[in-house]
Amino acid sequence: MAILVDGNTKVICQGLTGRAASYHMERAMAYGTHVVGGVRPGKGGTQHLDVPVFDTVKEAMAETGANASIVFVPPADAAAAMIEAIEAEVPVVVCVTERVPVLDMVRVKAALEGTRTHLVGPNSQGILTPGACKLGVMATVHERAGSIGIVSRSATLTSEIVAQTSAAGLGQSTTVGIGGDPVHGIGFVECLEMFVNDPDTSGIILIGEIGGTEEERAAEYLEDLNCDKPVVALVAGRHAPPERRMGHAGTLTVFGRGDANHKIKALRSAGVHIAPNTQLVAETMQQALE
């Protein structure tokens, strides 16, 4: 079992005929992901990568029975693509687009209210259920099916921790990259809830970083939960200078808020096992499981 996507997930790609989408979706298909169609306004009725292309998400859903979409649309149009998928009631939508304007994402968040859609991203590497479904742009070299759920704000660190947990013989149930943008879809709390309720996930790794309040919200949730599954956290950016934007997502600490040490303190007080550094995340999880 897994969360969000599995071997039965039927995927459509918004922006399928673009260069980046073609590159990554071809590799997703080779991995075994069940891609059933694509969406590109004005190219409905054609084929690309041997799957049908539709003018709208609603048409694609009706014809293919898809239950997930991945958005490969430039930043200026990404919000409209996400809202179209939300209005078509796609259960899972992943947006990998970087630099979506913040005000556009505010409109997307408003469109999500009261709907059945789980939005992952934007600026997300996506979701991977090893051996079953790749809905994103992550590498598939070191992943192994297993029992550790990983939810992360950092794509690079996710790849590192996936390799570590595989080498340790733990493997992953599902990895979810929630994205590093300040306004995004589902966050740590929603993913923690799903992993806690997944019978095939025995431990959860949370990869955080400076900026925002995702880690603090996760700590509040876990403090009230009395979770019987070990949670290990790594928070990057302990030595980041304050009030300086870091990385392509522009994470930063401002006016004493959002710093790594505060996040670590909150998570530790909620019973989370804190990995001392990047190299010891899998080892910390092994010790927590024992």
Catalytic positions are 248
- The Cα–Cα gap between 204 and 231 comes to 5
* Residue closest to 134 by CA, chosen among 99, 167, 96: 96
Question: What are the structure tokens assigned to 191, written together?
Answer: 């993913």
Report in angstroms the alpha-carbon separations of 63 from 9, 67, 152, 287.
Answer: 15, 12, 34, 49
**Beta strand pairing call for 172-177 and 126-129:** antiparallel
d(CA 283, CA 275): 8
